[in-house]
Structures are given as structure tokens and as C-alpha cells.
């Protein structure tokens, strides 16, 4: 019997960063922290390296990757930036916003799943920025989880899910935002489309541009383009724990039933709290709720509970992003 080696978790020392940058340049995979969730990174200009991402995650090659860049000059080399993209980049980069742009030929087809477009973002996590600078190449990186499971927000989550499939994990601590980036298709400035809600909200984007932005639904309002064509990976059931999730518009601690079921509220309830009642943020703040959501779903997904009941987050903005992930987790 051969023991399968387990990925090593590296602290972000200068020596480790230099080593991991060299691994990336040599075509190896490295799991990296971002401000949103952990990503599984490879050299975006190396088709062979990127193929390893799909293999490690068990991800279908029809689901395109997001490319992470260090500078706008680097973005220009892989995608075509228009005026709208430039304004959004100036306002929100580095940060949790992904722009879908026309792809340049330098990027191999596997990265965009054969699409003529490319999803690009400039992450703000300081360790990843240092790594990107040292590596000197753009990095393709989807979330660092086995395909279909909840995205990882700590280095340990990555090790739990992919520890036997990869060798290197850079530890940047728990991620600050906890939900994947907002994705907007900006190829046609007259028909902007939000493909995935995130911490940068629709209202913020509209304010930055002084313009309305369409929201891509499963069935496009125009009835011609489906979200499957717009953002291939977004159709599938996603972010799902094994334990079934049941969503509720309203949930209170007093409504918590069977101890074989977990009840997750947005804020901490008053009074005596049963051991099967949990909350995302003591004061019900949405940023805290977003940051802890995925870790909570993982923690409750250890077989203890038959079902996980979760309250939908109240309001719009960040609540839209939280509820989007909850609906996917519930497989709706």
C-alpha cells in the first residue's frame, strides 16, 4: 500500500513565496488565498498546467476559469479592455470583481472552455499579489474545491477537499469576504450583464457607471441567451454540502425543531439557545454572515444532521449574493 502524499500548507514567508512562484512558472498547481475564496492556481498561459486544474477538481472542461492578473498591463496582454471595463477596473481593482472581456489569442482555449471571451480579475489579497508579482504570469484559478462542493475559505478547507490531489497550499488566513467575486460581462457597453452577484453589488456597479445593468437569469428576459451560454459554470447545482439544505424566508430560534436538524439564523437569537441552533453573525451584519457562510455549511455537513435549515438574508445588495449561494446550495 502506498500512502498518498498530502498537500503541504505554506506560510507566506518570502522564501516560501519565491518557491511557490517557481512552482507556478514550472507548470505546477498551487492553491492560493484571495480576498473572496481560495483558488486553485496555474499558469494561465500554459494549457498543460491549466488542464491539471480541471483534473484535480473533477471539473468539466466546459466550465471556464477566471484569470487573476497583477497589473492592467498584464490584463491588456490577455484580454481587450474597453472604456467601461477601464472605469470599473479603476474603481474596483484590486478587488472582488471579475470582468468578462474579449479574449486574446495568448490565452489557451482550455482556460475559457473554448469561448471567445475571458473572465479576468485583479485580486487584492496581499499574499496573492506578492505571488503574482514574483511569478510574473497571470494565474488561472477557479475556487479550490472539488467540483460542485462548497468553496473553501481557509487553507484547511482546501486541504480537506483537495489535499490528496495537489501538493502546495499557500495559507493566507480565513478569507475576508467569503463569497466568490461579482462577475459582469462588459463586452458590449450598451448591454452590460451581471452574471454572478458578489460583494460588489449591482447598485455599486450601476452607480460607478451611471448606467443600468441587466441581470442574467436562468432564462434571459430576451429569451434568446441562457445563463448556460453566458456563464457556463453557473447553471449546475453548486456550492452544495451533502446534507440537504432547506431555505426559509423567516426563521426564529423558537421554530427550531428536531435535534437531528440544524437551524442557521442570520443573527444570534436572544435567550436560551438549543445546541442545534447556529447563527452567521452575532449582530446579523451581512458582511460577517457572508464571511462565515461557507465555513458554517462545511461544519454542519459532517453527518450529524439530516437537514440544514437556513434563513435567507434580509434585504438586497450583499444579501442577494448570500441568497444566490444559498439557492445553489439548496440545489434550486
206 binds, among ligand TXA, Mg ion, none (CB under 5 to 8 A by kind): none
- Give min distance, CB of 40 to ligand TXA, in A: 8
Exposure b/e, 163-193, CB count within 10 A at least 16 = b: bebbebbbbbebbbbbbbbbbbbbbeeeebb
Q: Is 154 in the site for Mg ion (CB under 5 A)?
A: no
Q: Looking at the DSSP assignment, which residues form a beta bridge with residue 248?
A: 311
Among 81, 115, 208, 213, binds ligand TXA (CB under 6 A): 115
Pairing of strands 39-43, 117-121: unpaired
Stretch that binds ligand TXA, among 6-14, 141-149, 254-262, 312-320 (CB under 6 A): 141-149
Q: Is 182 in the site for Mg ion (CB under 5 A)?
A: no
Stretch that binds ligand TXA, among 81-89, 117-125, 241-249, 308-316 (CB under 6 A): 117-125
Q: How far is CA 168 from the centre of its chain?
A: 19
The sign of the CA dihedral 217, 222, 227, 230 is negative
Q: Is 33 in the site for ligand TXA (CB under 6 A)?
A: no
- Measured CA to CA, the distance from residue 233 to residue 236 in angstroms comes to 6
CA-CA distances (angstroms) from residue 11 to 17, 151, 163?
9, 21, 16
| Polymer length of the chain | 332
Q: Is 201 in the site for ligand TXA (CB under 6 A)?
A: no
159 binds, among Mg ion, ligand TXA, none (CB under 5 to 8 A by kind): none
Q: Which residues bind Mg ion (CB under 5 A)?
A: 143
Enumerate binding residues for ligand TXA (CB under 6 A): 34, 36-37, 39, 63-64, 66, 96, 98, 100, 112, 115, 117-119, 141-143, 180-181, 183, 195, 230-234
Amino acid at each position: 500500500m502506498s500512502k498518498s502524499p498530502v498537500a503541504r500548507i505554506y506560510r507566506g514567508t518570502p522564501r516560501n513565496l519565491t518557491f511557490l512562484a517557481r512552482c507556478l512558472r514550472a507548470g505546477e498547481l498551487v492553491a492560493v488565498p484571495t480576498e473572496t475564496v481560495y483558488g486553485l492556481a496555474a499558469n494561465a498561459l500554459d494549457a498543460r498546467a491549466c488542464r491539471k486544474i480541471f483534473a484535480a477538481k473533477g471539473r468539466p472542461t466546459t466550465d471556464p476559469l477566471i484569470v487573476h492578473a497583477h497589473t492592467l498591463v498584464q490584463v491588456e496582454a490577455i484580454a481587450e479592455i474597453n472604456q467601461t471595463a477601464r472605469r470599473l477596473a479603476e474603481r474596483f481593482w484590486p478587488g472582488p470583481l471579475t470582468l468578462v472581456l474579449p479574449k486574446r489569442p495568448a490565452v489557451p482555449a482550455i482556460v475559457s472552455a473554448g469561448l471567445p471571451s475571458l473572465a479576468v480579475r485583479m485580486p487584492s489579497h496581499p499574499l496573492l499579489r506578492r505571488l503574482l508579482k514574483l511569478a510574473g504570469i497571470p494565474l488561472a484559478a477557479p475556487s479550490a474545491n472539488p467540483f460542485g462542493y462548497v468553496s473553501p475559505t481557509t487553507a484547511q478547507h482546501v486541504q480537506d477537499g483537495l489535499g490528496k490531489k495537489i501538493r502546495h497550499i499557500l495559507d493566507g488566513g480565513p478569507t475576508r469576504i467569503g463569497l466568490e467575486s461579482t462577475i459582469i460581462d462588459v463586452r458590449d457597453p450598451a448591454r452590460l450583464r451581471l452574471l454572478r452577484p458578489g460583494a460588489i453589488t449591482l447598485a455599486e456597479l450601476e452607480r460607478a457607471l451611471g448606467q443600468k445593468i441587466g441581470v442574467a437569469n436562468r432564462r434571459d428576459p430576451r429569451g434568446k441567451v441562457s445563463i448556460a451560454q453566458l456563464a457556463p459554470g453557473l447553471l449546475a447545482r453548486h456550492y452544495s454540502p451533502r446534507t440537504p439544505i432547506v431555505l426559509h424566508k423567516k426563521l426564529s430560534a423558537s421554530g427550531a425543531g428536531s435535534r437531528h436538524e440544524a437551524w442557521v439564523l442570520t443573527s444570534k437569537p436572544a435567550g436560551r439557545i438549543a445546541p442545534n441552533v447556529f447563527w452567521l453573525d452575532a449582530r446579523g451584519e451581512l458582511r460577517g454572515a457572508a464571511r462565515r457562510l461557507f465555513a458554517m455549511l462545511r461544519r454542519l455537513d459532517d453527518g450529524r444532521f439530516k437537514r440544514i435549515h437556513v434563513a435567507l438574508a434580509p434585504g438586497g445588495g450583499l444579501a442577494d449574493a448570500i441568497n444566490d449561494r444559498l439557492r445553489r446550495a439548496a440545489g434550486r
